[in-house]
Chains A and B, each alone.
Chain A
């Protein structure tokens, strides 16, 4: 009887890994197909939102309230894309459990995959928008340097950080169904508290310490260092952030798993 296993325990063997990867792939592909199948504009459609934001913000902060930041469109778009990935992932992850009631109640389906699917899907949207950013960089005369090799590291850190928060909001939303609404407010404030459209060095010195506790400050800064200045970002800060994100992920994942035993009943 030793080979009998409790269905709640998932032993990790090679087939399991392949399976989880395939499940992830199919669920992401489904989201992407649905998004791009129905509109004839296809992928271009998902670029409308960031481009419209870019248009309005760059008009305001270069004509109305000039910030005098060099290569402002590239500067702004770098921040916008990173922020949008974070925001849309978190927002979609909130509903990822509640909106998939049937899947959660299906024997053998592990709910832990759903927040990963949301963050990964939005990462792909981000990647699809990157070529536009390259066009802006080219227009602004910024040439890419070999530091771009470091980009995947920043992607990974942002992925970890976003995922750790996603598990928390998804769990909370099962108990309190207005989480998504409240999150919208928090994200709006977060947008202003992150250096999406302004330079973080404009923050007065005595606030800098507190200001840089916001992980999005570190991340957006890192993207700009790499893409705009061709420099490697501060390693220590990033290392600290990845450790904190990993720790946070461990905690929030455990909270999620603990609560997930009740999901089928609460939905």
Chain B
């Protein structure tokens, strides 16, 4: 099998200027060119080696600042390695900073040509793919309207569509798969699968570890500046997630006033509550279809989970997660604001988020709703309440299992 990307002993050193580095010639002359020298160096990557064969996908996981994006850009030829070498074979395309080159005052059509060419296609190649690009973006009716009249979702769809029609041999993806609605996201994922199938080597950076686990063959866990683990995606992701949980435990304060819950239970840190508590979940309520608090439901009922939070300091883009689990810890369902593409901006003070289940298709039994608020890169939890909110689903006669999908017999 041919290797499309070969990275050998790659190290990258960045310079950091002193805070009072002169940025104008005038200042530089006044200070007789002092302060222009690099104040210090730091290693963003050290001795990183890996290979991605054609038709394989490698995921990069790690926290913010772990060097993932730096590595991705270096493979794309932006900047030069300080040591080591990067060899690539074939045309490189990137899904990084989607929307670069798009201009609001030009029409969708004009923008397709400009960004198509910027992405590495000749004009003729763009022209040949034009209908495919427009079709994929589902923007046929708006293609001659100015780009500024598009909604954010439409813009992203068009940008993504141009980017995936470049027939790359190597594709670099940075956090851009959460584009548009669920149907479009699935289309994007299908497209990526198709690339892989056609022999494209893909390098994916994502905070969504489940996505890396699902899509990638191999994974690299970067922990600036070195690689902490590399190997089969499943194993590496599991290690990374485990470390993240440990990190949460490490950050959980050893004592904190217990939080009294409505049902008479108490939340105690390191027992059923974990997290750095930079941001607290102050109250969680399960509400029925009419909006009243209830903990017992019929299978198939609607239910809302209302999460109240309090953030004394500003918290940038937290992620909220909700898990339905059995008493023994078995996870029946797990979702998060990030998984559903609902990105929060910074929060401060008090507020609430709502998760609405249209149907609770669980079989009768005792469950728990576990709730968490996480740092935006999933590095650790701010606050995680485990097995504190019971959920009863009334038993039905003669059924077993976990799920109770709507069903009927015909005999």
Which of the 9-residue segments B100-108, B205-213, B304-312 touches chain A? B100-108
CB within 8 Å of A: which B10-27 residues: 14-15, 22-26
Q: A5, B89: Cβ atoms under 8 Å?
A: yes
Q: Which of A6, A25, A109 contacts B86 (CB 8 A)?
A: A6
B120 interfacial contact with A, CB 8 Å: yes
B325 interfacial contact with A, CB 8 Å: no
B106 cross-chain contacts in A, Cβ below 8 A: 30, 33-34, 37
A189 interfacial contact with B, CB 8 Å: no
Q: Which of B28, B80, B94, B117 contacts A106 (CB 8 A)?
A: B94
Q: A26, B120: Cβ atoms under 8 Å?
A: no
Q: How far is the CB of B82 from chain A (nearest CB, A)?
A: 11
- Binary flags per residue of B113-126, CB closer than 8 Å to A gives 1, else 0: 11001111111100
Give A55 to B119 CA distance when docked, in angstroms.
45
Q: How far is the CB of B330 from chain A (nearest CB, A)?
A: 43
Q: A107, B96: Cβ atoms under 8 Å?
A: yes
Interface residue total, chain B, C-beta cutoff 8 A: 44
Q: A176, B87: Cβ atoms under 8 Å?
A: no
Q: A23, B78: Cβ atoms under 8 Å?
A: no
> Which residues of A line the B interface, CB within 8 A?
1, 3-8, 15, 18-19, 22-23, 25-27, 29-30, 33-34, 37-38, 102-109, 176-179, 182, 261-262, 264-265
B92 interfacial contact with A, CB 8 Å: yes
Q: B103, A34: Cβ atoms under 8 Å?
A: yes
Q: How far is the CB of A21 from chain B (nearest CB, A)?
A: 8
Q: How far is the CB of B89 from chain A (nearest CB, A)?
A: 5
B223 interfacial contact with A, CB 8 Å: no
Q: Which of A6, A108, A177 contacts B120 (CB 8 A)?
A: A108
Q: A7, B92: Cβ atoms under 8 Å?
A: yes
B121 cross-chain contacts in A, Cβ below 8 A: 19
Interface SS majority for chain A: helix
Give A29 to B28 CA distance when docked, in angstroms.
38
Q: B113, A106: Cβ atoms under 8 Å?
A: no
B323 interfacial contact with A, CB 8 Å: no
Q: Which of B23, B26, B77 contacts A108 (CB 8 A)?
A: B77
B97 interfacial contact with A, CB 8 Å: yes
Beyond contacts A18-B124, A178-B26: 17 other A-B pairs, Cβ-Cβ < 8 A, are: A4-B6, A4-B89, A5-B87, A7-B86, A19-B117, A19-B121, A34-B106, A37-B106, A106-B96, A106-B97, A106-B101, A107-B73, A107-B76, A176-B25, A177-B23, A177-B24, A265-B79
Give A22 to B22 CA distance when docked, in angstroms.
39
Q: List 11 A-B contacts (CB under 8 A).
A: A4-B89, A7-B88, A27-B114, A103-B101, A107-B76, A107-B78, A108-B77, A108-B93, A176-B28, A178-B25, A265-B15
Q: How far is the CB of B4 from chain A (nearest CB, A)?
A: 9
Q: B92, A107: Cβ atoms under 8 Å?
A: yes
Q: How far is the CB of A184 from chain B (nearest CB, A)?
A: 13
A265 cross-chain contacts in B, Cβ below 8 A: 14-15, 79
Chain A-chain B contacts (Cβ-Cβ < 8 Å), number: 112
B85 interfacial contact with A, CB 8 Å: yes
Q: Which of A1, A25, A29, A107 contacts B77 (CB 8 A)?
A: A107
Q: B123, A5: Cβ atoms under 8 Å?
A: no
B278 interfacial contact with A, CB 8 Å: no
A178 cross-chain contacts in B, Cβ below 8 A: 23-26
Q: B77, A22: Cβ atoms under 8 Å?
A: no
Q: B118, A103: Cβ atoms under 8 Å?
A: yes
Q: A6, B87: Cβ atoms under 8 Å?
A: yes
Give A45 to B115 CA distance when docked, in angstroms.
27
Q: B100, A8: Cβ atoms under 8 Å?
A: no
Give A184 to B231 CA distance when docked, in angstroms.
56
Q: How far is the CB of A186 from chain B (nearest CB, A)?
A: 12
Give A103 to B73 CA distance when docked, in angstroms.
13
Q: A108, B25: Cβ atoms under 8 Å?
A: no
B172 interfacial contact with A, CB 8 Å: yes
Q: B172, A107: Cβ atoms under 8 Å?
A: yes
B89 cross-chain contacts in A, Cβ below 8 A: 3-5
Give A6 to B85 CA distance when docked, in angstroms.
9
B25 cross-chain contacts in A, Cβ below 8 A: 176, 178-179, 182
A261 cross-chain contacts in B, Cβ below 8 A: 79-80
Q: How far is the CB of B377 from chain A (nearest CB, A)?
A: 21
B94 cross-chain contacts in A, Cβ below 8 A: 106-108
Q: Which of B28, B73, B118, B124 contacts A26 (CB 8 A)?
A: B118
Given A4-B88, A6-B86, A23-B118, residue A102 in contact with residue B97 (CB < 8 A):
yes
